[in-house]
Amino acid sequence: MQLLMAIAPSAEDEVYFLGDLIDRGPKSFQVVSFVRASGYRCLLGNHEQLLIDSFPNGNIAPNALHAWLHSGGQATVASYDEPEVLLDHLEWMRSLPTHIDLGDYWLVHAGVHPRLPLSEQSVQEFCWIREEFHSSPQPYFVNKTIITGHTITFTLPNVPAGAIAQGAGWLDIDTGAYHPKSGWLTALDLDNQQVYQINVFQNTQRILPFVEAVVQINRDKIAARRRQLLQL
């Protein structure tokens, strides 16, 4: 809420959330309720997908439920006083898009598979992909920049906490608000090329020109790390 107050969007401004509204704090219910009521557009994140997978067709999937609860879902459940409200929010999450095309920019939670056409990609790619997307040497789109969350930027090679990461045709703005190493929650003003940030631990605010907030990632290091992981 402090970040939105700093941005102060007008009625004409378009605001987009990149997913993962839940599982990263004690007030998931309040976050989902606000975003849903605000009319701002929101993408499906992998944490919303974990919840959806836990209740397929109105039933409980024990393995998926166990995975969700141990990925932050316990805090989410605790934030809801009434199970019916959680189920109502679940139905709203089922309606969330996996990506939004804004012309020059293409929004998605995690990324895309660099070697698959969009028609062959699924929630798995859009909500979960990491190294294969980040290490791609070529932009996926010729005329669009992909903007993602999902991967905390300081986990990428040589990117300091709080910085936006830039790769081949993409930007990652997930600066790890919940993580004690960072605490920065980030919003990117595309029209004015400004970055707004609130630190949830220090209760501080900063507004930076985009060029001062972005760090180019080392794609070769990501590719090498991925090769090592595959060998393991």
167 and 219 fall within a common domain: yes
Res. 226: pLDDT tops 70: no
**Do 218 and 107 lie in a common domain?**
yes
Last residue of one domain, picked from the residues 79, 97, 115: 97
Q: What is the pLDDT of residues 121-142, one digit of tens each?
A: 999 999 999 999 999 999 999 9
Q: Residues 158-214: pLDDT tens digits?
A: 999 999 999 999 999 999 999 999 999 999 999 999 999 999 999 999 999 999 999
- Please report the pLDDT score of residue 232 as a whole number: 54
Return the ∠ at Cα 99 (arms to 96 and 105), rounded to 5°.
Answer: 140
Residues 188 and 107 in one domain: yes
Work out how many domains the chain is built from and give that number. 2
Q: Are residues 115 and 200 in the same domain?
A: yes
Q: What is the pTM of this model?
A: 0.93
110 shares its domain with 218: yes
What mean pLDDT value characterizes the chain? 94
Average pLDDT, integer, range 104-111: 98
Across the range 24-50, mean pLDDT stands at 97
Same domain, 55 and 109: no
pLDDT in the model for residue 57: 85
Residues with Cβ within 8 Å of 17's Cβ and at least 6 positions away in sequence, in order, are: 35, 40, 41, 42, 43
Report the pLDDT value the prediction gives residue 58, as an integer from 0 to 100: 80
Q: Give the pLDDT confidence score for residue 220 in this predicted structure.
A: 73
State the residue range of the domain holding 87: 13-97
Map 204-216 to HEC letters. EEEEEEHHHHEEE
Classify residue 5: in a domain, yes or no: no
Listed residues 82, 97, 112: the one ending a domain = 97
